[in-house]
Amino acid sequence: MSSESNVKLAIALSNSDLDLEELERETRNLLREIRDLDVESAELVAVTEIPETAKSVGGFLVGVLQAEVSIANFKKLLGFLSDRLGNKTIELEVEANGKKLKVKASSQQELTAAIEQAQKFIAGN
């Protein structure tokens, strides 16, 4: 499958109640769960350029991971994220066919709306 027909996602978790070590552990657990789904790839985001608000541990951005999934499995991954991250603050960046969509959510309702927006974005590409 060519990567042009895949959707790339960057998922950034933020939780002011967690210290860096706990946030890193939560991110790695989420990564492990995403890898169990039918995705092309999933990995932590290596530090290349650090945004002002980002923190890094061991060469990776804390709380940030990226995944690549086929369009066919995109909805399945979004459903998983909704179930797993419904009441957490996240930033989701979706890229397909050279276009990007970036949304933020901090509640189940906002995440549901963000997922609907992402699905419409992919459908429109």
pLDDT tens for the 125 residues of the chain, in order: 444 589 999 999 987 788 888 898 999 999 999 999 989 999 998 876 555 556 555 567 888 999 999 988 998 998 898 888 878 888 999 998 888 999 999 888 988 898 889 888 888 86
How many Å apart are CA 46 and CA 37, to the nearest integer? 22
**pLDDT at residue number 49:** 53
3-state secondary structure of 53: coil
pTM recorded for the entire structure: 0.81
Residue-level pLDDT at 51: 54
Question: How many CA atoms within 13 Å lie on the side-chain side of 6?
Answer: 15
Contacts 24+ apart (CB under 8 A), 49-53: none
Q: Please, what are the domains in the chain?
A: 3-123 (3.30.70.120)
- Provide the pLDDT for residue 82: 87
User: What's the pLDDT score for residue 7?
Assistant: 94
Residue 2's pLDDT is: 44
